Amino acid sequence: MRKLALPDDVLLKVEKPGRYTGNEINSVMKSKDEVDIRFAFAFPDTYEVGMSNLGVQILYDMFNSFEGVWCERVYSPWIDLDKIMREKNIPLFACESQDPVKCFDFLGISLQYEMCYTNVLQILDLSGIPLYAKYRSEDDPIVIGGGSCAYNPEPLASFFDLFYIGEGEISYKELFETYREAKKAGLSRMEFLKKAANIDGIYAPAFYEPEYNEDGTLKAFGPVTEDVPATVRKVIVSDFKNAPYPKKPVIPYVQAVMDRMVLEIQRGCIRGCRFCQAGYIYRPLRERSLDEMKEMVRELIYNTGYDEISLNSLSSSDYEKLPELLDYLIGICNEKGINISLPSLRIDAFSLDVMNKIQDVKKSSLTFAPEAGSQRMRDVINKNLSEESILGGALEAFKGGWNKVKLYFMLGLPGETDEDVKEISHLCQKIAETYYEIPKEERNGKVAITASTSFFVPKPFTAFQWAPMNKEDEFLEKARMLKNEIRSEVNQRSMSYRYHDAEVSVLEGVFARGDRKLDKLIEAAYRNGALFDSWTDTFNSDAWKKAFEETGIDPYFYTARERSEDELFPWDFIDIGVTKKFLLKEWKKSQEAVTTMNCREGCSGCGARCFGGGICFAPES
Contact set with another protein (CB under 8 A): 1-2, 4, 8, 11-12, 16-18, 20-25, 251, 253-255, 259, 301-307, 336-337, 339, 360-362
Task: Closer to another protein by CB, 6 or 165: give it.
Answer: 6
Burial class of 117 by CB neighbour count within 10 A (0 to 12, 13 to 18, 19+): buried
**Which amino acid makes up residue 13?**
K
Residue 50 CB, nearest approach to another protein (Å): 17
Element (H, E) at 118: helix 117-127
Residues whose CB is less than 8 angstroms from the CB of residue 347 and which lie 6 or more positions away in sequence, other chains included: 366, 368, 393, 394, 396, 397
Task: Closer to another protein by CB, 24 or 387: give it.
Answer: 24
SS3 39: strand
Among residues 494, 406, 402, which one has the least CA distance to residue 448? 494
Task: Closer to another protein by CB, 2 or 183: give it.
Answer: 2
Task: Closer to another protein by CB, 27 or 118: give it.
Answer: 27
Task: Closer to another protein by CB, 36 or 299: give it.
Answer: 299
**Which amino acid makes up residue 515?**
D
Residue 366 CB, nearest approach to another protein (Å): 17
Give the span between the Cα atoms of 179 and 193, in whole angstroms: 9
Give the span between the Cα atoms of 362 and 484, in whole angstroms: 34
Task: Closer to another protein by CB, 25 or 610: give it.
Answer: 25
Contact 318, 272 (CB under 8 A): no
Residue 301 CB, nearest approach to another protein (Å): 8
Give the span between the Cα atoms of 225 and 307, in whole angstroms: 54
**Which amino acid makes up residue 255?**
Q
Task: Closer to another protein by CB, 360 or 388: give it.
Answer: 360
Residue 23 CB, nearest approach to another protein (Å): 6
Give the span between the Cα atoms of 503 and 505, in whole angstroms: 5
Residue 66 CB, nearest approach to another protein (Å): 24
Contact 442, 399 (CB under 8 A): yes
Residue 90 CB, nearest approach to another protein (Å): 16
Task: Closer to another protein by CB, 336 or 493: give it.
Answer: 336
Residue 401 CB, nearest approach to another protein (Å): 14
Quick one: CA dihedral 5, 8, 14, 20, positive or negative?
A: positive
Residue 399 CB, nearest approach to another protein (Å): 21
Give the span between the Cα atoms of 85 and 125, in whole angstroms: 11
Residue 166 CB, nearest approach to another protein (Å): 33
Residue 300 CB, nearest approach to another protein (Å): 11
Task: Closer to another protein by CB, 8 or 138: give it.
Answer: 8
Among residues 539, 551, 509, 517, which one has the least CA distance to residue 118? 539
Give the span between the Cα atoms of 323 and 346, in whole angstroms: 14
Residues whose CB is less than 8 angstroms from the CB of residue 94 and which lie 6 or more positions away in sequence, other chains included: 22, 40, 72, 73, 74, 101, 104
SS3 48: helix
User: Is the bond preceding residue 284 a cis peptide, omega within 30 degrees?
Assistant: yes
- What does the H/E/C string look like for 512-570? HCCCHHHHHHHHHHHHCCCCCCCCCCCCCHHHHHHHHHHHCCCHHHHCCCCCCCCCECC
Give the span between the Cα atoms of 322 and 326, in whole angstroms: 6
Report the residue count for the chain: 621
Task: Closer to another protein by CB, 17 or 401: give it.
Answer: 17
Give the span between the Cα atoms of 462 and 315, in whole angstroms: 18
Q: Work out the number of other CB atoms within 10 angstroms of the CB of residue 369.
A: 16
Residue 157 CB, nearest approach to another protein (Å): 38
DSSP annotation of 340: E
Task: Closer to another protein by CB, 12 or 230: give it.
Answer: 12
Residue 2 CB, nearest approach to another protein (Å): 7
Task: Closer to another protein by CB, 8 or 67: give it.
Answer: 8
